[in-house]
Structures are given as structure tokens and as C-alpha cells.
Structure 1
Amino acid sequence: MAKLPKLLVAVLSTFLLVLTATAPARAAAPDPTSQRYLVSGPKTTQQRSQVARTGAAIDAVRADGSLEISAIPSELKEIRKLGHTVTALPSPTSHPRAATSYHTLAETLAELDAVVAAYPQIARKIAIGKSYQGRDIVGVKISDNVATDENEPETLYIANIHARERLTAEQALDLIGTLTRGYGSNTRVTNLVDSREMWIFPVVNPDGQVYDMTSDTQPGRMWRKNRQPAPTDLNRNFPYRWGCCGGSSGNVSSETYRGPSPESAPETRVLTNFVRSRIVGGRQQIKLFLDIHSYGNLVLWPFGYTYNNTVPGAMSADEEATHRTIGRQLAASNGFTPQQSSDLYITDGTTGDWTWGDQRIFSFTYELGGGGFYPSPSRIDSLVAGVRDSLLLLTEYADCPYRAIGKQGQYCSA
């Protein structure tokens, strides 16, 4: 074959270099799917944060300090380098679907429709946007005069941001039922409905929830993230201190993958846009926020990205004391352990850090009990009942959270 002229070779080489430089970067080949493991060795908050820094999702902290995690092989390698012992955990125990069982997404939506039909004067269904796969993100507003945007303190509750945390949607549905069925007969509930506007979204990751529930032979797929082509951990994708502090992963295969940029996941944008929409007349109307997770029997409050209890310009001593005092009261009600989020381990880009750090909404996270992501359906009623009172207590503080530390006159006077 005849040799190409030197000039033509040079031109082709230059063209290939330019083409390579300007071509979009290709995503790295993903690691195998994550599996669940027990990590023995970590005893301190800092050691747990080192494990979280690898990108592994810490699912629970056992009484002896060992960690239940979900991790990919590259993360396991890093964890072993830290000197910890790693052993595989068994797959979740299968529970046959029963009449008293976890709601599918379709059943959840049907229940919301039934509530609104039964209590139209105090309950209104609302869709605030769509998921990546086009499903509506749906919740209910509960208040007297529900069709009117009144000048009343508001509370926001979300659940099932992590798909496999199945019990969380049941807790949200139970709250909806408590507030609607109790109106007019229970004085405490009636007072709350008459004086608050409450927004409750049982499933804010509908694509992930549907995917996690598609198996009929086992409780679930152990799916955590959304269902984008590069699935994202929605609770690491919020635009406050995103990716700042080793509390999330840049690896698309990781369970804690934070996405390529803040709010890159459509579900995250739906939630942040809704919260921003509640700024009326320059003031945020939502006064309290709760993100319901499982499992761990914990009440958490901001911040997750730093070990510091107070942060100049972001968390004053009174603000920290208010979070801590309410958190401890909630824990006294539901039997959970109260602590600042970072006392568990460092996280970044989370819901509660954003709702407080960016929007100044007093924010809490529940890690429900149950001992796993798929407790037996026979335990659903008792598990959610144990948390019910604390949700009402939290809602009662919406008029002035500073009342918890006796400073309502300083911060909440007209």
C-alpha cells in the first residue's frame, strides 16, 4: 500500500487530536452492583465518616459500633485499607405480600385520592412536578380552608427519597390518616389543622420506589437512588455544601453518587422549586421540615457536612439550641436517639442541610426503626404508631420553634 503524503498525515493527526479534545467525556464503566456488608472496627464518628468518605452508604450503626453498609468492590477495598474487617450480610428475608403490607405507588396514589374524596374540606391533592421517568410527585395539603393560601405557619414532610426505605411512605400515609380522621373529634388534631398548613409527600422518588417493588419473590431490590441513566442519590444532590466534605461520592456506581452537579436530578429540582415557591412576600412560609428515612431509630438535625454545632452566619447558638431541644423532645416521644446529623457521620448535599442552610427552615430527619429496610408487614402498624405522637409534637412547634428554648418573645413577636 502506498504511503500517505507527509502533509496529509499531519493534517489527519491534527484533526484526530482536535476531535478527541472536543468530544464529550464518556462515563467510566460502572463497577458491579453494590452489596451489603458488615464493617467491624469503627468506633468513633470520625471513623464512621472515613467509611462514608469511600462512597459506601452506611445503612445502620449497630449497638457495638459495627456498620451495616451497601458498597461496591472499589469501596470495600478502601474500607479494608482503613484496617476494618468486612463480612457479607445475608439477603433480606422474604415476606409474602399480605393484605396488610407495603403500599405500591398505585395504591399510595389511590389512598391519597380516597382521603381527598372523604375529606375535601381539609385535604387537597397536589402534584408538584415529574420524576425522570415522567411520574407525578404527588402529596396532599391538609388545612382548614384547604383551597385558600392562608397566612398560617406551614410544615413540610417528605418520605421515600431513598427507594428501599419502604416504611417511610407508610409513616407519611399514617400521618395523613391521623390528621384527616381525627379532625373534629380529636382536639389536638383539630387545633393543628385549623392553625397550620401541612404538606405531606409520601413518595418523592417514585421511579426508584416502583423499581424497588417490581420483585414478587423478595421484599425488594435494595434500590436506593433514582432511575436516571446515571442513577443519583437524591439525598446527596441538594444545592447546599454539595460535594464539599467527603460526605458523598463522585463515582456513578456508588450508592451515594451525588450527581454531576447540584440539583441535577429532576426529583431534587421538583422539591427545591416547591420549597422556594413557598416564599411569599419575601418570607419562607414553611417553618418546619421533616425528611423521613429508615432505619436506625434516630432523630437528626443539621448540619451533616460539619462537626461544628454552630456555624457563623449559618447556625447560631440559639438556632442550634432550638434544633437540639426540639430534637430531644421528639426522641423522648418516639424512643429514638437524638443527635446532630454529623455525630453519626459526615454527609453533604442533603435535604436538611439545604432546607436549613439555604431556606432557614427548622429541619429534622427521622431514621425509623424496624431493624432493616423491609420489616415484616405484620410490624407496620406498631412501628408507625410509635412515631405518631412525635409528628404531632413537631407540627405544634410550627408557630414558633424558638418556643422550645423560651425565646418566643425575642424571635416570634408580631
Structure 2
Amino acid sequence: MACAAVHTGDAFLAGALAHIDCQAQAIGAYGFSALASPGSPVSIAATSLLTIFIALFGIRVMLGHPMDRRDIIGDVLKLGIMLTLATSWPAWRIVGYDLVIQGPAQIARAIGLGAGLPGSGGDLAARLQNIDRGLAAFNTIGSGRLGVAQGDWFQLGFARSAFLTGTLGPLALVRLTTGFLLAVTPLMAGLLLFGVTRGVFEGWGRALVTVFLASIMLTVVYGVELAMLEPWLLDALQRRATEQQTLDAPVEILVATLSFAVVALLSIFVVARLAFHASFSFTAVFHGRSEHAEAREGRSSASPAPHHAEPSRGMVVAQSVSDNLRREERLANISRTEGRRADRGDGAPATLAAQTATQSNNEALGGTWRRQSRRPSAAARRRDQT
């Protein structure tokens, strides 16, 4: 699609804005068609990714990998979204293209009409062009400063440059980025299938949200700029038509145009930060139960272990009674065993009793290191020798 050429003169800004918008629409529509055609490299790559995804799904079924209902539904949704975005232009035009291209203008029109902003009726480009014409005329006649033949050319010329840059630059950035993101939709659709590349798909979706909101924001900002500059410029030109001096006008218009240029650029940054730092995840619905479980386990392992409370007095008494019962039951079992062996007369009870006594001694604290033989003193040895 051939877009209208841009010519120099008093219609430069309106022609440039129309050309940029035309190029963005052409890139988004014809770029999508070129990448989604059956013989394109992107279409072949998407088909390969789809084949790999189906093969991996079949392998998981053959190996008996546990899959719940959430996993199956997520895989089916991924396949449906991928095929819709990569192959169906009519569906994508309704769902994505028209929404991103035409939706911001409709929303901004509703906001502007409610707030009474100029340019909300669809004539934003024409009114911005009128501002540029007024700045050019003011630059020609100057502020009427004595001794300056051509007016305050530096301030007024720089003010017009700031106005054109602050209008064309942000709009071109947002609209051309929109066209590019719409064009690479078939490529991004294939990245949805795998967890390794799903983050790129989510970033692409967040970028679409960014340009959508940025288009609305810029339209509102330019409406406020028109509401400020139109009456100011009309008053300044009327004063110069009656040969009145407007010595403060060059600095005022320079500050105003520079301020709105900075505001337009910063508004894109603010919207991008809002879209990319939001906690909402586009692909959260596709995460299986295992991934959520791993995330919860990672959070639980990273968190410090809770401190166990000291047992109550009742629990201590119950534990002591239980230990006494187990000890009495063990002694009763030993007594029954010795009685049965005494009846048979095999002399084993003495040995068993000795082993039990030794075990009881070993259980005492420090019993392992106790000396078993007596240690006579030196005086006792001399007494025994005499």
C-alpha cells in the first residue's frame, strides 16, 4: 500500500502524521500476511515448533507422566491461541489489529469529549498543523524587539523545532512500534508453546499493552497542549498585528513547547513501566500444577523455619507416664523370659541378668567410662606385703 508523500510547506506536520499512521497500518497488516504465508520462514518455524510440541505431549502420555485437568486444558488453549495468531488473519484483525490500531483513538475521543479538550472530534492533526503555522508566522514577524529586524529568531525557531519534535517523535515511536508488534504476531505465537520461550511471548503482549495505552496518553497530552497554545498563539499574533511588542512571548513559547515534548516522552516511559511491572501474568493460565508446586516449594524452602513452641506441662507429664509404662513392660518381658529358662534349668538366667545389669549400667550417664576393677592405694599395698 502506497502512502501519501510528505511535502514541505504549511502542511508538513499533518502530512507527516498521516504518513506515519499509514506506514504503521501497512507494516502491521502486510507484514502479518507475509510472515503467515505458507512458504515463509516464520510459517515453517511455527509448524516445526507445533510438531515438536505435539511430539513431546505424546511422549509424556506414553511414559505415563501424571497430567491433571489443568495441564490438558492449558495445552489445548496454547494450541488454539497459537493457530489463531499464526494462521488466521480475519480472527487476528478483529481480536488484535483493529483493537490496537483503532481502539486508542476511540477511547481518547471519549475522554477528550468528556473533558472538553480540543481535537477530540477527529481533527487533532489539523489543529496541530494550525499551531505549527502560527509558530512559523510568529517566527517571521518576531516579538517587535527594537533593533532586531527579523525578530527573536533563536527562541522562536527553537520553540517550533521543539513543537515538531515533541509531536512527531513520540507519535512515530508509538505507531511504528505498534505496526512492528502486529507484524511479528505469527513469530510470537510459536513461542507460546514452550516454557523456555513463553517469557518472550509475555513481553510481546506487554509491549502491545504499552503502545495501546501510550496512544491514548499521547492523544490526551496533545489535546491539553492545544487547549493551552491555541489561545496563547492567537493573542500573540493579534498583538503583533497591531504593532504591539510581545517581548516575553519567545521565552514563554519555548518553555511551553519544550515542556510538552518532555511530558510526551515521559508519558510513554510511565505507561511502559506500568505495563512491564504489573504483577499480572499473561501466561499464568498455562502454568501446570507442577510448576505452581515447585514455586511454592521454592518459596517455602527460602523462608526461615518456624520456631517450635515449648511443650506444655501436660505434654511433659504424659510423655513421662508413657516412658514409665514402656520401661515396666520391658522389665516384665525380661522377668518372664528368665522364669521360662529357669524352668528348663539351662543356667541362662544368670547370664541374662548379668547382661541386663550391664545394659542398665551403660544406660546411666557416664557409665561407659566407669572403671570396673578396684584400685588399691599405696598404703594398702604395703600393709598386704607385711
TM-score norm. by structure 1 comes to 0.21
Higher helix share: 2
Report 1 or 2 for greater relative contact order, CA contacts < 8 Å, sequence distance ≥ 6. 2
TM-score norm. by structure 2 comes to 0.22
